Chains A and B, each alone.
Chain A
Amino acid sequence: GESVGLHLPTLSVQEGDNSIINCAYSNSASDYFIWYKQESGKGPQFIIDIRSNMDKRQGQRVTVLLNKTVKHLSLQIAATQPGDSAVYFCAEKTNTGNQFYFGTGTSLTVIP
Protein backbone atom coordinates (compact mmCIF):
# COMPACT_ATOMS: atom_id res chain seq x y z
CA GLY A 1 0.00 0.00 0.00
CA GLU A 2 0.89 3.66 -0.02
CA SER A 3 3.04 5.13 2.69
CA VAL A 4 3.38 8.80 3.29
CA GLY A 5 5.01 9.66 6.56
CA LEU A 6 6.50 12.55 8.45
CA HIS A 7 9.80 12.53 10.31
CA LEU A 8 8.79 14.83 13.18
CA PRO A 9 5.35 14.60 14.72
CA THR A 10 5.79 17.90 16.64
CA LEU A 11 7.82 21.01 16.00
CA SER A 12 8.21 24.15 18.11
CA VAL A 13 9.82 27.29 16.72
CA GLN A 14 10.32 30.84 17.89
CA GLU A 15 8.33 33.50 16.15
CA GLY A 16 10.37 34.95 13.30
CA ASP A 17 12.47 31.83 12.79
CA ASN A 18 12.19 29.61 9.74
CA SER A 19 10.37 26.26 10.00
CA ILE A 20 11.09 23.09 8.07
CA ILE A 21 8.59 20.24 7.99
CA ASN A 22 9.61 16.99 6.34
CA CYS A 23 7.74 14.19 4.64
CA ALA A 24 8.85 10.83 3.23
CA TYR A 25 6.93 8.93 0.60
CA SER A 26 7.39 5.39 -0.61
CA ASN A 27 5.71 5.25 -4.02
CA SER A 28 8.21 6.14 -6.73
CA ALA A 29 5.29 6.48 -9.18
CA SER A 30 3.89 9.46 -7.25
CA ASP A 31 4.15 12.60 -9.31
CA TYR A 32 2.01 15.20 -7.61
CA PHE A 33 2.43 16.41 -4.04
CA ILE A 34 0.54 18.86 -1.89
CA TRP A 35 1.05 20.45 1.51
CA TYR A 36 -2.02 21.19 3.60
CA LYS A 37 -2.45 23.21 6.78
CA GLN A 38 -5.12 22.22 9.28
CA GLU A 39 -6.14 24.53 12.10
CA SER A 40 -8.08 23.25 15.06
CA GLY A 41 -11.71 22.57 14.21
CA LYS A 42 -11.27 23.22 10.52
CA GLY A 43 -10.73 21.27 7.35
CA PRO A 44 -7.32 21.01 5.66
CA GLN A 45 -6.39 24.09 3.70
CA PHE A 46 -4.23 24.01 0.57
CA ILE A 47 -0.82 25.67 0.97
CA ILE A 48 1.31 24.74 -2.02
CA ASP A 49 1.76 21.93 -4.51
CA ILE A 50 4.56 20.59 -6.68
CA ARG A 51 4.75 18.17 -9.58
CA SER A 52 7.53 15.68 -10.12
CA ASN A 53 9.04 17.63 -13.03
CA MET A 54 10.12 20.29 -10.53
CA ASP A 55 12.36 20.15 -7.48
CA LYS A 56 11.44 23.48 -5.93
CA ARG A 57 8.43 25.74 -5.85
CA GLN A 58 7.93 28.95 -3.94
CA GLY A 59 4.84 30.69 -2.67
CA GLN A 60 4.28 33.51 -0.26
CA ARG A 61 6.64 32.72 2.68
CA VAL A 62 6.55 29.03 1.80
CA THR A 63 8.83 26.85 -0.29
CA VAL A 64 8.36 23.20 -1.15
CA LEU A 65 11.36 21.07 -2.05
CA LEU A 66 11.09 17.69 -3.74
CA ASN A 67 13.91 15.15 -3.80
CA LYS A 68 12.78 12.27 -5.96
CA THR A 69 16.01 10.37 -5.50
CA VAL A 70 15.34 9.78 -1.81
CA LYS A 71 11.56 10.23 -2.03
CA HIS A 72 11.51 13.20 0.30
CA LEU A 73 9.39 16.33 0.44
CA SER A 74 9.83 19.35 2.68
CA LEU A 75 7.91 22.51 3.48
CA GLN A 76 9.84 25.59 4.50
CA ILE A 77 8.03 28.46 6.16
CA ALA A 78 9.95 31.72 6.36
CA ALA A 79 9.62 34.11 9.29
CA THR A 80 7.15 31.86 11.11
CA GLN A 81 4.23 33.67 12.71
CA PRO A 82 1.82 32.64 15.49
CA GLY A 83 -0.87 32.20 12.83
CA ASP A 84 1.23 29.42 11.31
CA SER A 85 0.57 27.21 14.35
CA ALA A 86 -1.35 24.23 12.97
CA VAL A 87 -0.97 20.64 11.81
CA TYR A 88 0.68 20.27 8.42
CA PHE A 89 0.03 17.29 6.14
CA CYS A 90 1.70 16.16 2.98
CA ALA A 91 -0.29 14.29 0.36
CA GLU A 92 0.75 12.41 -2.77
CA LYS A 93 -0.86 10.86 -5.83
CA THR A 94 0.28 9.07 -8.94
CA ASN A 95 -0.36 10.39 -12.44
CA THR A 96 -2.97 7.69 -13.09
CA GLY A 97 -4.56 7.68 -9.65
CA ASN A 98 -7.79 9.25 -8.46
CA GLN A 99 -6.75 9.28 -4.82
CA PHE A 100 -4.45 11.26 -2.61
CA TYR A 101 -2.61 9.53 0.24
CA PHE A 102 -1.99 11.56 3.36
CA GLY A 103 0.69 11.45 6.03
CA THR A 104 -0.16 11.57 9.73
CA GLY A 105 0.78 15.24 10.08
CA THR A 106 3.24 17.43 11.99
CA SER A 107 2.02 19.76 14.68
CA LEU A 108 3.78 23.13 14.44
CA THR A 109 3.73 25.42 17.47
CA VAL A 110 5.05 28.96 17.16
CA ILE A 111 6.33 30.46 20.40
CA PRO A 112 5.79 34.23 20.58
Chain B
Amino acid sequence: NAGVTQTPKFRILKIGQSMTLQCTQDMNHNYMYWYRQDPGMGLKLIYYSVGAGITDKGEVPNGYNVSRSTTEDFPLRLELAAPSQTSVYFCASSYSMGAKGSPLHFGNGTRLTVT
Protein backbone atom coordinates (compact mmCIF):
# COMPACT_ATOMS: atom_id res chain seq x y z
CA ASN B 1 0.00 0.00 0.00
CA ALA B 2 1.18 3.50 -0.83
CA GLY B 3 -0.90 4.90 2.04
CA VAL B 4 -1.79 8.59 1.70
CA THR B 5 -0.28 10.33 -1.32
CA GLN B 6 -0.24 14.10 -1.73
CA THR B 7 0.71 16.10 -4.80
CA PRO B 8 2.41 18.41 -5.46
CA LYS B 9 5.15 18.45 -2.80
CA PHE B 10 5.88 22.14 -3.29
CA ARG B 11 4.08 25.01 -4.98
CA ILE B 12 4.49 28.77 -5.25
CA LEU B 13 1.38 30.78 -6.10
CA LYS B 14 0.84 34.43 -6.80
CA ILE B 15 -1.87 36.25 -4.86
CA GLY B 16 -5.26 35.64 -6.45
CA GLN B 17 -4.29 32.45 -8.27
CA SER B 18 -6.10 29.20 -7.65
CA MET B 19 -4.94 25.64 -7.32
CA THR B 20 -6.00 22.18 -6.20
CA LEU B 21 -4.03 20.11 -3.75
CA GLN B 22 -4.48 16.45 -4.51
CA CYS B 23 -4.84 13.68 -1.95
CA THR B 24 -5.48 10.02 -2.56
CA GLN B 25 -5.42 6.98 -0.29
CA ASP B 26 -5.44 3.28 -1.13
CA MET B 27 -6.48 1.92 2.26
CA ASN B 28 -10.24 2.12 1.61
CA HIS B 29 -10.65 4.53 4.52
CA ASN B 30 -13.94 6.35 4.79
CA TYR B 31 -12.62 9.25 6.86
CA MET B 32 -10.38 11.85 5.27
CA TYR B 33 -9.03 15.14 6.56
CA TRP B 34 -7.16 18.26 5.48
CA TYR B 35 -4.95 20.05 7.99
CA ARG B 36 -2.67 23.03 7.72
CA GLN B 37 0.44 23.45 9.80
CA ASP B 38 2.02 26.85 10.32
CA PRO B 39 5.62 27.16 11.63
CA GLY B 40 5.90 26.17 15.28
CA MET B 41 2.21 25.42 15.48
CA GLY B 42 0.04 22.37 15.73
CA LEU B 43 -2.27 21.04 13.07
CA LYS B 44 -5.46 22.97 12.32
CA LEU B 45 -8.36 21.16 10.67
CA ILE B 46 -9.62 22.75 7.45
CA TYR B 47 -12.21 20.27 6.17
CA TYR B 48 -13.01 16.64 6.64
CA SER B 49 -15.15 13.93 5.10
CA VAL B 50 -16.78 10.90 6.67
CA GLY B 51 -17.42 9.22 3.35
CA ALA B 52 -17.92 9.77 -0.36
CA GLY B 53 -20.33 12.63 -1.00
CA ILE B 54 -20.10 14.03 2.55
CA THR B 55 -17.89 16.90 3.66
CA ASP B 56 -17.81 19.14 6.71
CA LYS B 57 -15.99 22.24 7.88
CA GLY B 58 -13.23 22.15 10.44
CA GLU B 59 -11.70 24.97 12.47
CA VAL B 60 -10.27 27.05 9.58
CA PRO B 61 -12.33 26.48 6.39
CA ASN B 62 -12.39 30.03 5.02
CA GLY B 63 -10.72 30.36 1.63
CA TYR B 64 -10.89 26.61 0.89
CA ASN B 65 -13.25 24.14 -0.69
CA VAL B 66 -13.30 20.36 -0.88
CA SER B 67 -15.13 17.59 -2.66
CA ARG B 68 -15.31 13.85 -2.09
CA SER B 69 -16.65 12.09 -5.15
CA THR B 70 -14.82 8.82 -4.46
CA THR B 71 -13.59 7.01 -1.36
CA GLU B 72 -9.98 7.33 -2.54
CA ASP B 73 -9.72 11.03 -3.40
CA PHE B 74 -10.18 14.19 -1.35
CA PRO B 75 -8.88 17.28 -3.21
CA LEU B 76 -8.54 20.67 -1.51
CA ARG B 77 -9.23 23.75 -3.62
CA LEU B 78 -7.85 27.25 -3.04
CA GLU B 79 -9.82 29.70 -5.18
CA LEU B 80 -8.14 33.08 -4.54
CA ALA B 81 -4.78 32.49 -2.91
CA ALA B 82 -3.76 34.88 -0.14
CA PRO B 83 -0.44 35.22 1.73
CA SER B 84 -2.21 33.96 4.87
CA GLN B 85 -2.58 30.59 3.12
CA THR B 86 1.18 30.09 3.05
CA SER B 87 1.53 26.90 5.05
CA VAL B 88 2.21 23.18 4.90
CA TYR B 89 -0.91 21.19 4.09
CA PHE B 90 -1.40 17.62 5.27
CA CYS B 91 -4.00 15.15 4.16
CA ALA B 92 -4.89 12.26 6.45
CA SER B 93 -7.24 9.30 6.48
CA SER B 94 -8.64 6.95 9.08
CA TYR B 95 -10.42 3.62 9.12
CA SER B 96 -12.93 4.61 11.78
CA MET B 97 -14.00 7.33 14.19
CA GLY B 98 -16.63 7.55 16.90
CA ALA B 99 -16.42 5.12 19.77
CA LYS B 100 -13.89 2.86 18.06
CA GLY B 101 -11.60 5.48 16.63
CA SER B 102 -8.41 4.52 14.87
CA PRO B 103 -5.30 6.56 14.15
CA LEU B 104 -4.96 9.08 11.37
CA HIS B 105 -2.54 8.15 8.58
CA PHE B 106 -0.84 11.20 7.11
CA GLY B 107 0.66 12.07 3.76
CA ASN B 108 3.99 13.86 3.53
CA GLY B 109 2.47 17.25 2.92
CA THR B 110 2.34 20.02 0.34
CA ARG B 111 4.41 23.11 1.08
CA LEU B 112 2.59 26.13 -0.35
CA THR B 113 3.93 29.66 -0.60
CA VAL B 114 1.72 32.53 -1.71
CA THR B 115 3.55 35.72 -2.73
Contacts and interface: CB of A to CB of B under 8 A. Distances in A.
Chain A complexes with chain B: yes
Interface in A90-112: 91, 93, 95-100, 102-105
A98 B107 contact: no
Interface residues of B, number: 26
A41 to B, nearest CB: 8
Given A45-B106, A93-B101, A98 B42 contact: no
Nearest to B59: A1
Given A41-B108, A46-B105, A49-B103, 7 more contacts: A34-B104, A41-B109, A43-B90, A43-B109, A44-B90, A99-B45, A104-B41
Secondary structure type dominating chain A contacts = loop
Given A98-B31, A99-B58, A42 B108 contact: yes
B99 A98 contact: no
A89 B43 contact: yes
